[in-house]
Amino acid sequence: MDKEIFLRQLEREKLARQETEAILERVTLERYHSSKLLHRNLDENELLLRQYKDAVDEGTIVSKTDKHGIITYVNDEFCRISGYTREELIGKSHNVVRHMDMPKEAFKEMWQMLKERKTWKGIVKNKTRNGSTYIVKAAITPIVDSNNEVKEYIAIREDLTEIYNLQNEIIETQKEMLERLGDLVETRSKETGHHVHRVAEYSALLAQYSGLDAKEVELIRMASPMHDIGKIAIPDVILLKPDRLDKEEFEIMKTHAQKGYEVFKNSKRDLLQAAATIAYEHHERWDGKGYPRGLKEEDIHLYGRITAIADVFDALGTQRVYKEAWPLEKILQLFKEEQGQQFDPKLLEIFFENIDAFLEIRDNFP
């Protein structure tokens, strides 16, 4: 009996060992297949990542820096557009391609966002090795480790230089077209001699000294030559009359402000809207006695108030079919008398404070 029990016990132990060995074999096989699958997935992911990197490198401008902003990697596109070799860039900061026109505040804002683990996006003007300019749309992202510590920064850029050059070409074309239209008005009214050019420069300078930003200064420079565009619709018998206009004729002459406004009023372009405003309001007076609407003080658009001073200053100083040019002393005396009457007193104060700069413009366009 004891022998049979012993044999059965041995049989159970044998079966248990066989079952254990089978389980171990199955687990080992599963681990092998899992490991093989994992390695295959890792290889595939590595291949995909390499292709993603190649695609990004091919189509964009890429650089990496350490956490202190020192360049550790640049791709071929970065070298191509900047004109520098990798050896000249690695180990340097991006100041090597920084353009002098870029304000320091922009970079302070960028670093503040990066320190907060945020991606910074913006338009950056850079310079090449030979000093030329290129424009990029940049996105800079901090790369962090598992402890959320910044290890490096990666910057991906898109070249916008051609787009910006085209945009500038369009702007210059618009500017030239407006100047030519202004010249046409001058020629028709026999007021040749750079009148619209001087008014444009006077207006831009007064706008600048008044604290307007560079965009608005350039907008006024480009739009102010259109201040008298409505004179195209005034009959020659009135426009070219060598004597002073009578009351009825002057009423017809005054319509040039309304007619000039109507030329541009339906445009959706900022430039032509500014031209419409200037044409409409440059004959309004600070005291409300101007035309065509009798606007008063700051109800008159700033562009109109600025161009009014520029236009009158130049008109009085140049010969017209109906008058001789005034000497400077007489013009300035009139301006003092009309400060707070015809003209915005604050703008006229700025004009007097910077009279030498305005006279320099006059001398440059005799």
| Enzyme catalytic residues | 231
Task: Label each residue of 165-193 as H, E or C.
Answer: HHHHHHHHHHHHHHHHHHHHHHHHCCCCC
How far the first Cα of the chain sits from its last, in Å, is 135
Sheet holding 133-144, edge to edge: 71-74, 61-66, 150-159, 133-144, 120-127
Please name which of 49, 179, 68 lies closest in space to residue 115, comparing C-alpha atoms: 68
Whole-angstrom distance, CA of residue 142 vs CA of residue 113: 10
Q: Are 105 and 116 in contact (CB under 8 A)?
A: no
- Please give the backbone phi and psi of residue 151, each rounded to the nearest 5 degrees, phi first: -100, -35
Question: Is there a cis peptide before residue 225, judged by omega within 30 degrees of 0?
Answer: no
Task: Output the CA angle 208-101-85, nearest 5 degrees.
Answer: 165
Whole-angstrom distance, CA of residue 66 vs CA of residue 93: 10
DSSP helix/strand/coil, 126: strand
